Amino acid sequence: MTTAPFLSALAGVSAAVLLPALPAATWASTATLSLFSGVAALVMMAMAALLGSRWRWLEDLFGGLDRVYEVHKWLGVWALVLASVHLVFKAGTPAWDVAAILPLPPYWTRLVRQLSYVALVVIVLLALNRKIPYGQWRWWHKLSGPLFVVVVLHWLSFRSPIALASPAGVWLVLCAGLGLAGAAYKLLLYPFLSGHAEYRLVRVEAGVDSVRLELVPVGRVIPFEPGQFAFLRFLHPGLREPHPFTIASGGDQPVKFVVRALGDYTERLVAGVEPGMRAEVYAPFGRFNRPPHGGFEVWVGGGVGLSPFIAWLQDPSRQDLAKVTVFNFQTPGRGFPGVAEIAADARRRGADWVDVADGPRSAVFEDRFAWLVAQVGAENVSVSFCGPAGLLAIVRAAMARQGIPESRLHHEKFEFR
């Protein structure tokens, strides 16, 4: 499931269950447009709250938590657009038979209506504003669940032609219930019921602006597959914020991460992490799995996007590396700690390792990629990518020039916010 079909399905179902509740003569009116926009906005807010729960079955449905968060973002954006349309036009006409499901005094009905729109604006702006430090953003974003309750209360108290027992009423109850359940779980139960375990940091290997961390379980071991990621939360003042990092090791223990100083939190982590620290590891997440056996594989890692490929190289269950070419895009002087040893080990195992240090439009990458495709044929090449969006666009363009279809590209969304 991807973003456009999912959002289209939500809007389509909302329209399909709403229209039978309205006189056909009013379907083409701005009143119907406003009411539909309000219904669809509530449904999309509910689904955004549901997706924020990080329930495992949602990962299966969308193909990984990175895809879940992409859909989550666009649900919020379109909910705001639709709510704005709902606000501009009056969702009512004398031809409708209207009643409130939960009648409130007029003052409170108006107040809840205004607060519901303000709540949605606050939720979306907080979610999309990258200038807010992650620690503050995270706590503000926790208000999403309580603010969604205000939106649900607006629906219940608003005089509309939607009866609770009608198809539209059942649809809204179902969606609102799922959204409230997801929000309540994430806000209240996630620290207790989600899959996580305590680990101890046993090794820190420092680079110029990065560190390689090795942790061992204190008790329970979390099983994971190479290419997955975890939310890492150190139990130490100043480092308690949970952040997602790709697991850069090929077995269950010890678990390894490579962290580069890219923001306030990661700068503190790189500067202050020490052996002996305890951390909570919430895992596993992600579906960035290596392609099945057969064919020639091109792995492209940009910056910290190299991490999943380190895990793939160290995967004890897959040592078929003779048909693998790894392109490691790294800025000179900012390579991962120990990457030279990883590259040497990969070459010993048969993988073709290519360091690319002269930028994303490097002739080294273009020429080597074109040469490989000419040798083995475009139909026999699959490309796995993890890195910044700008580099992904360049890789896509290179694939198109060589006649490799988009379906042979496997990539993970690189940014969560």
pLDDT at 141 over 80: no
**Integer angstrom CA distances of residue 279 from 232, 255, 369:** 7, 12, 40
Q: Distance (Å, rounded) from C-alpha 413 to C-alpha 390?
A: 12
CA distance 366 to 117: 50
Highest mean pLDDT (candidates 22-36, 51-65, 297-311, 402-416): 22-36
Structure tokens at 315: 């995967």
Percent of the chain with pLDDT over 70: 94
Q: Three-state SS for 163?
A: coil
For residue 129, pLDDT over 90 is answered with no
Map tokens 């205000």 to a residue: 150
Confidence band, pLDDT 50/70/90 cuts, at residue 299: very high
Angstrom CA distances, 381 to 77, 321, 351, 389, stand at 37, 14, 15, 21
For 68-94, how does the pLDDT look when each residue is reduced to its tens digit (9 = 90+)?
989 998 998 899 899 889 988 988 899
- For residue 165, the SS3 value is coil
Residues 280 and 78: their CA atoms lie apart, in Å, by 35
Q: What is the CA radius of gyration of the chain?
A: 25
Tokens read off for 3 = 């973003």
Q: Which tens digits make up the pLDDT trace of 145-200?
A: 888 888 899 899 988 999 999 999 999 999 999 999 999 999 899 888 888 999 99
Identity at 13, one-letter amino acid code:
V
Tokens for 12?
A: 């389509």
Token duo for residue 270: 């790189």
Structure tokens at 125: 């702006």
Q: Which residues have CB under 8 Å from 156's CB, separation 6+? A: 100, 101, 102
Cα–Cα distance for residue pair 363/360, rounded to 1 Å: 9
Bigger pLDDT: 240 vs 200:
200
Q: Would you call 282 helix, strand, or coil by DSSP? A: strand
Give how far Cα 133 sits from Cα of 39, 70, 121, 264, 321, Å.
33, 20, 19, 7, 41
Contacts of residue 58, defined as CB under 8 A and 6 or more positions apart, other chains included, come to: 50, 51, 68
Across the range 231-249, mean pLDDT stands at: 89
Other Cβ atoms within 10 Å of 351 Cβ, number:
23
Q: What is the pLDDT of residues 380-394, one digit of tens each?
A: 999 999 988 889 999
- Given a contact cutoff of 8 angstroms between Cβ atoms, the answer to whether 127 and 136 are in contact is no
